Structure 1
Amino acid sequence: MTDTTLHGTEPPIVRDALERADPLPGTAGFAGEIDGRLVRDVLGRVPLFVELETSLSHAGPSWAFEPTVLENPILFPAGAVAAVDDPVPDAESRWALPDPAPVSDHEAAIDDLEGAIETAIASVRQDDRDIAVAFSGGVDSALVAELLDAPLYVVGFSDSHDVAAARTAADAMGRDLTVVDLEPADLERAVPSVARATGRTNAMDVQIALPLYLVGERVAADGFDALAVGQGADELFGGYEKVVRLDHRVEAETVRGAVREGIRSLPNQLPRDVLTIEATGLESVAPFLHDAVVEAALRLPDELLADADERKRGFRRVADRHLPAEVASRDKKAVQYGSLVARELDRLARQAGYKRRMDDHVGKYIVSLLEDEETRKSSD
């Protein structure tokens, strides 16, 4: 990223994508300013924020890559283009998520997906960075770890599912594993940093971000430059129960439609994860979110996505070619539950007097920790 006003790729690629209205021009995402315009890729893989209200008396910047720089930051929409001096995007000036016809030949679709993932991995390797992998023992992080051949780090409390699963998966893969054991004090210390970096204090976002932050701290301390994650696989390949059930949580009437809804949720989720990792001094690397992989995923038919018997079927068929069967077929808990961070944060909140009968008791506790830290800093 040589251009300080454009992150994620080089200006000629964005200019060409604008000219051709190409939403997937072969990058891992981009955002920033180019030729007097603000842009953010169609999946919002690079965070970009604009000032909610600007006036003649406003002396600060009108946009930034992180929310802390702005007074009233809001996320710039994914796929949008807008003038820098009027950063309210025109609804018509957006890249749209493609909707290609599904590939009917299942074996060809799996081959295409494997080739796309290998393209993404090759793109990661082009950069001269020392990379570690946030490893939970599930198929997503395991495939990243295997293809990148990078060191494995798992974070969690000693009795957590993620630590146990990561140990058995690493053994099956013949790999060493670094375990970052957590204590409740680690959460208390990290919560303000996560809330400040992400600009979010709601319980779910902070619970998801805390394991990333705490493993990132250790990876950075061990001298690495970047943290690789398996983010995006559940959304792209049908990893959620709701895409099979087609229940009240989705509007779609088909598995492919429900998966597309999940993909459209990424622009709001990804800034949380990217900003959390960057707050530890590392770059975030998410190979499954490369344009090539997204394009291949969008062409998968329902039968290679999910049903009542198996989720992420096509993705697992690719994993079967690279991982032990017991790892390729493995399901995992969401990181906030698998690491036991959600359980322990709830316990800390109740110990601090924020009982479950209170509305959003964990969120109130998070805000209190942030306010306490700000009070201590102002009094120093």
Structure 2
Amino acid sequence: MGALVAALSREGRDAVSKVAKMMETLQHRGNEAYGVAIRDYVRTGSSLREAASGLESPVAVGHVLSRVLREDRPQPVQHGTVKLVFEGRFYQLQEEGSVEVALKKFEGKPLEGAELILKGLEGAYAFAAIVGDSLVLGRDPLGLIPLYYGEGRGFYAAASERKALWAVGVKDVKSFPPGYVAYFSAGGYSLKPVRVLTKPKRRRVPLEEAVKTIKGLLAEAVRKRTYGLRRVALAFSGGLDSSVLAALLKSEGVKVQLVTVGFDGEEEVRSAVDAAETLGLPIHVKKVPEADVEEVLPRVLWLVEEPSPLAVSIGVSFYWVAEAASKAGLRILFAGQGSDELFGGYHRYLDVYRSLGDEGVWDVLYRDVKSSYERNFERDEKVCSFHHVELRLPFADWNLVKFALSLPTSLKISSPHDPLRKKVLRKVAEEIGLPPEIYGRRKRAIQYATGIDKVLRRIAKRRRRKTLRGLIEDYWGRIVWENPEPP
């Protein structure tokens, strides 16, 4: 794990200097090894200077490394004329490392290698490769690993975070579309859809059959993501999603450390502790002084890279969960992100139901799942990577997502007034042995459950800002444009 960067000059000029600048900007994601590749050469080293010094080329890729698992190694890697940088993980049950598996796809027909990765391999990943004089990019079909790209004066560039592209003068930064590959050359670039999420046909499935299938798919999603692991952390609220994952992780024989964040007196902290006791799993409670929120706020905003009160509120909670996992020596963090969009967990879906009916909810759920990479996954991965923690999301499993999206609304939301929602997932929870006080618990959004939202609003008031958005935008201007270094 770590970060990838890439650049290609449209004018035949040097791209290595831009790659080096982007790597320097992303050292918070990894600094255990550095690597740069140009068309005919790969160099790795223990410092950025060692990796990049003296190299010149109109096309280059780079990588900074954070070792999460033993298989993680310095990059770029090469096979023939192909130079590859890869971020993420494949979840097939295999002995080889993900980077080696990806590189093999380029053997024989290098220009088709990127498409073969997307067509045949399950996981969370993004990659960049030099193939001849071209630069090739790709991203997993759900967009679980961040990848951004854009055009500067006479060059194209790509990186794991927006701030790297801003650092080299790319202003119009785009999120790379999930399930696509892109081919860049001096003459331009093209995007090609390979494996993208499309709206499925609606199934007519009895509740019992849906419960059985989802239970099996979710168990398999957890199994694939725990292969070879002995200890993991789980972001835990004591609610439906995290409790289902806790039970499934425990059944796989993995040692699970539950982690929850909150303030003294918050009911959700007590509920999480009670649920952990019911599950028979250890829990670490991170109680946060209010002053710490104000201190960490600029850093979280710098990490999530958007002046959104919602993104920052959730990002602050996730920041401390990832920090607690890292300090406990746990480099893999599981979380329940993706479940609410799949199974209709948010209260706002009731408003959609009342105004647009069953069909309207079905459409909105699909759109929310399809856009989750920009709304949720990128934010959470960037916050976790700051703490050198790898995020794994079983609810964002390709096979589970495709099946769950095909289910009728009635298996998720019983009526426009359903106070619980997630009907089919609650039945799964009951089937795997969770008690009614867990599978019958009402949903609360993380920013409200942890109390972060209330604290942020109090900070805004103290700072004499009328709204939380006003406070966030104040910080945004200073952090991102005036002082782009980590706060």
The verdict on a shared fold, with TM-score over 0.5 as the criterion, is: yes
> Could you say which residue in structure 1 is the equivalent of 2:43?
none
What's the CA shift for 1:263? 0.9
Q: Distance in 2 between matches of 1:377 and 1:97?
A: 38
5+ residue gaps in structure 2?
A: 2-71, 77-84, 91-100, 107-111, 251-255
Distance 1:161 1:368, change over 3 A: farther
Q: What are the equivalent positions in structure 2 for 1:25-44 lying under 5 Å apart?
A: 27-34=122-129, 36-44=135-143
Q: 1:190 to 1:45 in 2, by over 3 A?
A: same
Distance of 1:376 and 1:257 partners within structure 2:
41
Q: 1:352 to 1:29 in 2, by over 3 A?
A: same
Q: Which residue of 2 aligns with 1:68?
A: 163
- Secondary structure of the residue aligned to 1:62 is strand
Amino acid at match of 1:38: L
Match of 2:257 among 151, 165, 181: 151
Amino acid at match of 2:423: R
2:323 is the counterpart of 1:217 = yes
Q: Over aligned residue pairs, what C-alpha RMSD do you find? A: 3.2
1:347 to 428, 438, 458: 458
CA contact (8 A) 1:192 1:369 kept: no
Q: What is the CA-CA distance between 1:143 and the residue it aligns to?
A: 1.0
Structure with the greater relative contact order (CA < 8 A, sep ≥ 6): 1 or 2?
A: 1
* Pairwise CA distance, 1:129: 6.0
Q: Secondary structure at the match of 1:90?
A: strand
Q: For residues 151 and 250 of structure 1, what CA distance do their matches in structure 2 show?
A: 42
Give, in angstroms, the shift of residue 121 of structure 1. 0.9
Superposition pairs of residues 160-199 of structure 1, within 5 angstroms:
160-199=266-305
Distance 2:314 2:215 in 1: 28
Unaligned runs of 5+ in 1: none
CA distance in 1, matches of 2:325, 2:475: 25
| Alignment check: 8 A CA contact 2:199 2:366 kept | no
Is 1:265 matched with 2:265?
Answer: no
> TM-score, with normalisation over the residues of structure 1?
0.86
> When the two structures are superposed, what TM-score results if normalisation uses the length of structure 2?
0.68
Larger strand fraction of residues:
2
- Structure 2 SS opposite 1:33: strand
Q: 1:55: which partner in 2?
A: 153
What is the one-letter code of the residue matched to 2:466? K
User: Quick one: which amino acid aligns to residue 399 of structure 2?
Assistant: A
**Could you tell me whether the CA contact under 8 Å between 2:236 and 2:258 is conserved in 1?**
yes
- The letter for the 1-side match of 2:429 is A
> Using a 3 Å threshold, how does the CA distance of structure 1 residues 20 and 244 change in structure 2: closer, same or farther?
farther
Question: Percent of counterpart pairs with the same letter?
Answer: 27
Q: Does 1:315 align with 2:315?
A: no
Confirm or deny: 8 A CA contact 1:251 1:258 kept in the other structure.
Answer: no
Instruction: Give 1:45's aligned residue.
Output: 144
Residue 363 of structure 1: how far off its partner (Å): 1.6
Check if 1:114 corresponds to 2:212.
no
Query: Which region of structure 1 is more displaced relative to structure 2, 126-135 or 109-118?
Result: 126-135
Q: Relative to 1, partners in 2 of residues 1:115 and 1:103: Cα closer, same or farther, differing over 3 Å?
A: farther
* 8 Å Cα contact 1:28/1:289 also seen in 2: no
3-state SS of paired residue (1:29): strand
- 1:239 corresponds to which of 342, 345, 348: 345
1:80 aligned partner, one-letter code: Y
Aligned residue-pair number:
370
Q: Contact 1:44/1:78 (CA < 8 Å) preserved in 2?
A: yes
1:12-31 correspondence runs (5 A): 18=115, 22=119, 27-31=122-126
Quote the offset at 1:98 in angstroms.
4.8
Output one character per residue of 1:162-217: Cα deviation in whole Å (capped at 9) or x when no partner: 21221222233233321100112221222222122222232221111100001211
Inter-CA distance 88–336: structure 2 relative to 1 (3 Å threshold): farther
In structure 2, how many angstroms separate the alpha carbons of the residues matched to 1:28 and 1:297? Answer: 18
